[in-house]
Structures are given as C-alpha cells and as structure tokens.
Structure 1
Amino acid sequence: MVAQVRHPIWLPAARAPGARTFAILFTLESFARASVASVIPIQAYELLRSEQSVSLTYTVVALLGLSATILMPLAIQRFARRRVYTAGVLLLGLGSLCLVTGTLAGQLGGMLARVIGASALSITLNLYIMDHIRKTQFIQSESLRMAWSTIAWMCGPTLGVTLYSQFGLWAAHGAVAIFAAILLCFFWYFRLSDNIAIRPGKTKPANPLANIGRFLAQPRLRLAWFIAFGRSCFWTSFFVYAPLLMVVTGQGSLAGGLIVSAGNALLFTALLWGRLGARFGARRTMAVAFAGMAVGLTVTAAAGEASPWVAGAFLLVTAFFGVALDALGSVVFMRAVRSHERAQMTAVYRTYLDLSELMPPLVYSIVLIFFGLGGVFASLAILMAVCAVVTWHYLPRRI
C-alpha cells in the first residue's frame, strides 16, 4: 500500500501585511467607487430634475446607511471580518446592477447598496490596518494609502462620465463590476487574518447603543470624529455639487467629471502633507488646512453660478488643503482608540461618513430654497472655519 502525501506547493507563504498591502486594497476599492462618483449625482439629477430633490435623495440614503454602520460590529462578530469585507465588495457590484435600471427605485437601491458596501469595507480595512501597522507608522501608512489612490480618484470620475456619455449606464457601471472583481481577488490572495480578540464567538455582542455611549465618553474619540466629519463633509459635497455646478451652468457633464478628477489628482500631495505633519505636528497642519479650506470655499461661494470656472478653480484650491485631512485625520482616531474596543469604536467612528452624507444635503436642501449653489459652498465654508478653531484649541500638541 502506497501512502498518499499531499504537498501544498501551490500555496506560497503569505508575506506579513504592510502599508503597501493596504495601499493596494484601498486603491482598488477607490477605483470601484470613483469610477461612478460623478455619474451617480448626474444620473440622479436627470431622473429628478431638481438640485433640491437630489439633496433629499442623498439624505434618505445616508440615513438608512447610518443604521447599517452602527450594526456593523454585530456582523463582524457573527461572520468574521474577511466575510464582511467580501460582502462589502459584492454590495458595490450589486449597487451598480441596481443603478443600470435607470429607475428611481433602482437609483435609491443602488445608492444604498454602495453606502452599506463602503461602510463594510472602511470598517474592516481600518481594523486590519490597526492590527498590522504600528502606531508610530500611522502617518506614513495613511499618507501612502492616500497617495497610491490618487490615480483612481484622478482618472475614475472622468472615465466613468466618459463611458456614461459615450456608451450609457451599462458601460459606466460595468467598470465598477470589473474593479470590484479584481479587488476581491487581491483581498483573498493577501489572506489577511482576523484579530482573535474580535473573532466570532459565543458571547453576546455588545449593544450598538452602548457602543455609542462609550465612544461619546472619550473626548479624544469625539474630537477625532469631528475632524473626520468636517473633512468628509467637504468631499461628499465636492463629489455632488461640483458636477452639479457645471451641469446647471451649462458647462456639461464632462466638465463636472474633469473638475472632480482634477481635485482627486491632488491626492498625490498626501505624501507632502504627511511629511509636513511629521515636521510641524498634526495639530498645526490640520488646523491650517481647515482654515485654507474655509477661505477657498468663501471665494467659491462668491463666484457661484455667475463664474463657474472661477468657482471650480477655487474648489481645487480647497481640495488641495482637504488632502491634508485625508493624510492626517484618521491618525487621531487610530492613536486614541483602545485595542480591545477597536471593532466597536471603529463602527461608531465610521458614522462620520454616513452623517457627512446625511447632514449637508439636508442643510443644502433648505439653503437652496433661498440661495443658489453659492449658498451651498458658503455653508460649507462656515463649517470648515469651525473645524479649524476646534482642531487648534482642543487637539493635543503631541498626536
């Protein structure tokens, strides 16, 4: 009798995950999201024919997505991170499948699926980063992650709008499915392991409402959330209202895609902002960035619909300062959160993105009753000024 021995020579030893691993995953995820970032608001406007209705649509979707984000730790405890991450990727594809229907129901369902998918990907990826990257390397890792995603956010919106304009919905959203499939292959190739401290178990999961209370009881976490909320309010507004500004003023959908791509191209400066943060301190750098954004948005509001290209130019100036918050903002949370609470606190922290997609459109829908699109940017400038003051006065010098 001959013994049968299997030698798993086809499975090479996986390298320890590092900053480049997460940069690759985030870049692929960014391609899947950025390729229709400018298409979705234009698609919504063509269905609804009203800037105010588009704002209300985003408000409803963000409100529903917020509930999913709060409950995400329960899913991670029940199914493990790798499965939640996989589900997030699949939801991006499902969202595009809904959006190609060209109906209002499909628009709402597709936007919601993308929001929930993005939430799952963001939370699980942040947990993997905090498991595998040292705290002293967070600034370097985050700036590298943002810099690598530059090409996705630079080319994606223009690619999506071009496909949409030339070939229709199927072409634009088909690109999302391709990028999502590539992302899923790379994720399983890297074989990231779950932290045993938060793997599925038999203990009863913590109450999501208790997680919120625990989060609010920690001043450093509250501050990290507010900084991230301010940063995200700008980017969510930029992705929606920069294309709308171009379309409403007759410049065309392609012009809107180009503005968004140009703003995203500035992500390559994340490495520069990372060095400035290490040299002058995260507090000083982020406060200056928020102040610069407030000034840029004020000029944008003054130009408004009367001078759309001037407004677009200063939106790009604002985006340059916004990249500083992308490079440094998450570091505040990553250094403040306790290791045994990462899953629960990351889910609560991630609500900044849901609320930044909920609150601004709600405010803008009221502002747009009395003012034009310039009022949107003026409202955002006020928030950025408040963020600058809060960051300067309350963020510790050593962060």
Structure 2
Amino acid sequence: MASEASPAIWTAAPPRRGAFAFASLFAMESFARALVATVVSVQAHDLLLSSQKVSVLFTCVSIAVLVSTLSLPILFRHVPRRWIYTIGIIGLIVASLAFALHTLPGQVGGMYLRNIGTATLNISLSLYILDHIRKADLVRSEPMRLTFSAASWTIGPFLGVWLYETYGAWAPQALSIASSILVLTFFWYLRLNAHPVIRAATSGPQNPLANVGRFVSQPRLRLAWFIAFGRSCFWSTFFIYGALLMIEGGLGKEASGILISLSQLVLGTAYLFGKISERTGVRKVISLSFAVAAVAAIAAGYAGTEAPILAGAFLLVGAIANSALDGVGGIPYLRSVRAHERPQMTGVYRSYVDLSDLLPSFIFSFVLLYFPLGTVFYILGALMAVVGFVAWRYLPRTM
C-alpha cells in the first residue's frame, strides 16, 4: 500500500469531495454511533442501579479518554490519515462487542473504545473537511452535514433501546457493527486525499503539552473551544441525565430512547439556522441559541422527576437551540485555525468533547449525593448563560 504522502496516488488522483459526500459519510457514521448512544446510559444504570454511580463511571472513563485524545496528534504524524479513520471504525466495532457482554468490565471497555473511536473519526473528518471545503463555504456545508445526520440520530437512539429491551444487549450492538462496516466501505470508496500542507506540517511540535500551550496562546482558538465545550456539555448532560430523568421519573427506559430520538429530530433545523447565519451573522445565532438553551435547561430542572414529561418538553426546546449551535458553533474554530497547524490544533480542540463528558459527570457525581436529579439542569443552564454571554462579548461582529 502506498504511503499517504505519495502525491501520485493520494493527492493528485482522487477528486476533491464536496459537502454532499462529507454529509453522507457523517450521516452513516452517526447512525452507527446513535444506535448505542442511549443504550450506554441505560445499560450502565442497569449494571450499577444508581445515577450517582453512573456519574462516577462516566467520570473515570472520560479521564482516560482525555489523556488518549491529547496524544492523537502523535498518531496523525506517523500513520496515514485514511488508516486512522479506519482504526476509529474498528474501535466502534470492538466497543460494540464489549457492550454486548453486558458486564461491568465490558461496559467500561466499551465506553472507552467508543469514545476513542469517535475522537479519531471526528478529528480525521474535520481535517478532511478543511482540506476539501473552502472557509467561505463552511457556513453552508456544516449545517448540511448536521441536517443529513438528523435521520440517523432520530431513529438510532430509540431503535437501539427498543432492540436492547426486546432482544437483549447484543441486538443493538450487532446492528451498530453492521452499520460501521458499511461506513468503512463507503469511506474507502470516496478515496479522500489529504492536503499537502497538512502533510508538510509534521515538523511542528508534537508533544501534547506543547500543542496545548500553542492552542491556548491563540485567543480565537480559546474562544472557539469554549463555545464548542458549552454546546457539547448540553448534549452530554442531555444524553446521560435526560435519559436517567425519564427512568427515575417513572416513564421507563423506552421513554428515554424516545426523548433522545425526538431531540435529534430537530437537527434538521441546522440547515435553516445556517441560512439565518448567512444573513445575520454567526455571532447572533450562537449567542441567542445559548440563551434559549439556558432558560430551557433551568426550566427542565425545575420540573424534575416530579413532572418528567414537562421536563422532557423543556429539554426538547433546549435541543432545538443546541441544533443551531451544532450547525454553526464549529465555524469559529474552522475559520480561525492555521492550515499548517490543523492536525495538532484539531487534536487539542477535540478535547472539548472529552472535557464536556468529564467535568459535568465529575461535578454531578458529588451533586447527586445531596440533591435531586433535576439539580444538574440548573447547573447546565448557568453554564449555557455564561458561554452565551462570552460568545456575544468576544466573537467578532463580522463572523
């Protein structure tokens, strides 16, 4: 197999891919992950029988994933990107095999491998998008990518929980494995090429701490990371504690799957918010979306397990706001990162996902020792308000 550095095969030969190709690939990958998304929380609760213990489990796994993610730029230096994407898919497959065991060790291993696999896929895809899509077109291509994935995230969470409840732990994992194989087949069919500027950048700093220092020294990247961290905190809290709220509110496991699926149905509005951003600017859409998400989260916390249906309705309002953030919230980073630093900086930037899993779970594991489940949404709402204010204050008006 020729090296990715060979321009004769992997730079000049494959055609440049457009937004449609990346949106299709992301939608297929999303379905493989969405099938397991709610099952992870439900199965963890079945094994541990406590929301507080589930928080501790997610905290421990997130710490391990964070350390691994910060080291991924080293992998990108030595391994061709197409193989890194392939490794990510294999990680999802092995994670599903571990989940299917329905044991605590299998749960821990599955969570770690699933998160690492997702990290490698997200970083690889982000780099490919930066290679193939002009920065001026990102405000259209990114919402399209989220819109295409809406069907995957609408069907997947409920279908996964239904299969889990009806046929057992192996059923959603078997379908996820089949979907992952389909993703890998389509990926290799696309023959995506890496930009020569990215390959030439391997002489840059590869020490994870040096990469973090370089990232933190750039104000635009810090701001982009904080915005991404805020929107990711909403989803990590929603997926874990929204599902647990349905269960502890007496509505059952399938209700948690329905809630997650309904929340993802609104991802189809991402394209609409992209169009709005073209006219009004990304800054206004991001700031207003955080404000709406803050109010919705606090209202959901007030309803709590005493009124789980009402709480779920408020969370869905917050999900609509967060779908706007999913559509355009990554644009500040994509427009700010320098071409020659993309692999290193994207590895650091991607840490927002791991920290959005780690910090809320860590905080909530203590909060839930003394306060009811609805309290986590009060904390989430406060965070959304802070991030929204920072975005409004510091994002350029022209963005």
Instruction: Answer yes or no: same fold by TM over 0.5.
Output: yes
Whether the aligned pair in 2 keeps the contact of 1:30 and 1:149 (CA below 8 Å) is yes
1:236 — aligned with what? Answer: 236
Unaligned runs of 5+ in 2: 1-12
Question: Residue 185 of structure 1 aligns with which residue?
Answer: 185
8 A contact 1:367–1:376 mirrored in 2: yes
Measure how far apart 1:366 and its partner are: 1.4
1:168 aligns with 2:162: no
Cα distance between partner residues in 1 of 2:205 and 2:395: 32
CA distance in 1, matches of 2:69, 2:273: 29
Partner residue of 1:139? 139
User: How far has the Cα of 1:14 moved from its partner?
Assistant: 5.0
Match of 2:129 in 1: 129
Cα distance in 1 for residues equivalent to 2:67 and 2:196: 26
Match of 1:256 in 2: 256
Q: Deviations over 1:246-277 (max 9, x none)?
A: 11122111110000000000000001110111
Distance 1:289 1:213, change over 3 A: same
Offset from partner CA, 1:17-62 (integer Å, 9 cap, x none): 1101110111111001100111110100010111011011111111
Once the two structures are superposed, the pairs formed by residues 322-361 of structure 1 within 5 Å of their partners are: 322-361=322-361
Select between 275-284 and 217-226 the one with higher mean Cα deviation. 275-284
Contact 2:263 2:320 in 1 (8 A): yes
8 Å Cα contact 2:139-2:331 kept in structure 1? yes
Single out whichever of 275-284 and 213-222 deviates more from structure 2. Answer: 275-284
Shift of 1:197: 3.1
Partner of 1:23: 23
Residue identity matched to 1:323: S
| 3-state secondary structure, aligned to 1:326 | helix
Give the equivalent residue in structure 1 for 2:103: 103
**One-letter code of the match for 2:130?**
M
1:223 and 2:246 matched: no
Q: 1:314 to 1:103 in 2, by over 3 A?
A: same
Deviation at 1:204, TM superposition (A): 8.0
Partner of 1:7: none
Residues 290 and 322 in structure 1, CA contact (< 8 A), matched pair in contact too: yes
Please say if 1:72 is aligned against 2:72.
Answer: yes
Residue 279 of structure 2: aligned partner: 279
Equivalent residue letter for 1:91: G
- In the TM superposition, residue 233 of structure 1 has moved relative to its aligned partner by 0.2
Contact 2:201–2:341 at 8 Å: present in 1 too?
no
Aligned length: 387
Once the two structures are superposed, residues 86-136 of structure 1 have per-residue CA deviations (whole angstroms, 9 ceiling, x without a partner) of 000000000010111111111000000001000000001000000100000
Contact 1:36 1:172 in 2 (8 A): yes
Counterpart for residue 3 of structure 2: none
Show the counterpart of 1:63. Answer: 63
Alpha-carbon distance in 1 for matches of 2:377, 2:175: 31
- TM-score normalized with structure 1 length: 0.95
Cα deviations by residue, 1:122-161 (Å, 9 ceiling, x for unpaired): 0010000001000000010000000000000000001101
Q: 1:200 to 1:178 in 2, by over 3 A?
A: farther
Secondary structure in structure 2 of the residue aligned to 1:16:
coil
Structure 1 residue ranges, 4+ long, deviating more than 4 angstroms after superposition = 200-205
Q: Distance in 1 between matches of 2:349 and 2:204?
A: 22
TM-score, normalised with respect to structure 2:
0.95
| Structure 1 residue aligned with 2:207 | 207
How much has 1:178 moved relative to structure 2? 0.8
In structure 1, the partner of 2:394 is: 394
Corresponding residue of 1:268 = 268
CA contact (8 A) 1:216 1:222 kept: yes
The residue aligned with 1:94 is 94
Give the match for residue 9 of structure 2: none
Matched, 1:119 2:119: yes
**Distance of 1:103 and 1:283 partners within structure 2:** 45
Structure with higher Rg: it is 1
Matched, 1:152 2:156: no
Q: Say if 1:229 and 1:355, in contact at 8 Å, map to a contact too.
A: yes
Cα distance in 2 for partners of 1:208, 1:73 equals 8
Query: Residue deviations 1:307-341, cap 9 Å, x none?
Result: 00000000000000001110111100000000000
Which structure 1 segments of 5+ residues have no match?
1-12
Would the aligned equivalents of 1:74 and 1:205 in 2 still touch at CA under 8 Å?
no
The equivalent residue for 2:375 is: 375
Partners of 2:300 and 2:314 within 8 A in 1: yes
| Partners of 1:65 and 1:354 within 8 A in 2 | yes
